Amino acid sequence: MSAPIIKVDAISKSFGAFKVLDGLSMQVMPREKLALIGPSGSGKTTILRILMTLERIDGGHIQIEGDHLYHMERNGQLLPADERHLARMRQKIGMVFQLFNLFPHKSVIDNVTLAPMLTKGTPRAAAEKRAMELLDMVGMADKAKAMPAQLSGGQKQRVAIARALALQPKIMLFDEVTSALDPELVEEVLNVLWRLCAETDMTMLLVTHEMGFAHDFADRVLFFDRGKIVEEGKPDEIFRHPKQERTQGFLKKIIAAGHRV
């Protein structure tokens, strides 16, 4: 059996006096597709942001492909990671956000080429060639010259996905990527996720309130509550036969609100 690509060991994180993550541990295997579900405020976004090095941890350890994320090994000692180490580790991971976060003053293609040119020194011609392939994959090649303000939410999100893929990450993090979209635009983004799932061997972690999609897409579902993983298992186990009272209560509310699980 191969080693985990992500190993999270007893991490904690507080914002002021509020403990968002409380001794959280989890392991993710290469190529695994995970759905992170749970009530608002349970820490799902925070764990993704921590993996993307957008937040620091207060305690615990994280390893990506066996290398510490927030620590560096020097002469047998574990020291806090410096910015260079974080930048190197960050290249293994891509993230797509709820609100797209495109650079508003750059064209679609420049949004996608920027990171490879800046962080990897990729020449413009090679970066543009790759960007066009990625834009083609998300169905946005014909909008390469457009500015973000000219795009719909679904189109912006597909460009954001292409941009995150440009650094060829092994791990992709998706944080409620359809929550800000009008209902008729959700499907076009979910279709791109399906394509990535079918055509790449990336490890994918998805925070979502689309329970039907999580059920169909994920190999494994993690149910978060109050900064801990309360229950995990295959989609059918979690959605059809949840064992924990908190999972049962959460799903009951979702179903009562008319959502498919």
Residue ranges in contact with ligand ATP by CB under 6 A: 15, 20, 38, 40-46, 224
Report which secondary-structure segment, H or E, holds 213: helix 211-217
Distance, in Å, from the CA atom of 67 to the CA atom of 234, rounded to the nearest integer, reads 28
Question: Would you say 137 or 229 has its CB closer to ligand ATP?
Answer: 229
Cα-based distances in Å from 205 to 20, 30, 219, 227: 19, 11, 10, 17
Backbone angles phi, psi at 26, to 5 degrees: -165, 160
Question: Would you say 42 or 111 has its CB closer to ligand ATP?
Answer: 42
**What is the residue-wise DSSP string for 197-208?**
HHH---EEEEE-
Backbone angles phi, psi at 103, to 5 degrees: -75, 115
- To ligand ATP, the closest distance from the beta carbon of 247 in angstroms equals 14
Distance, in Å, from the CA atom of 213 to the CA atom of 196, rounded to the nearest integer, reads 14
- To ligand ATP, the closest distance from the beta carbon of 73 in angstroms equals 29
Question: Would you say 152 or 179 has its CB closer to ligand ATP?
Answer: 179
- To ligand ATP, the closest distance from the beta carbon of 149 in angstroms equals 26
Question: Would you say 112 or 218 has its CB closer to ligand ATP?
Answer: 218
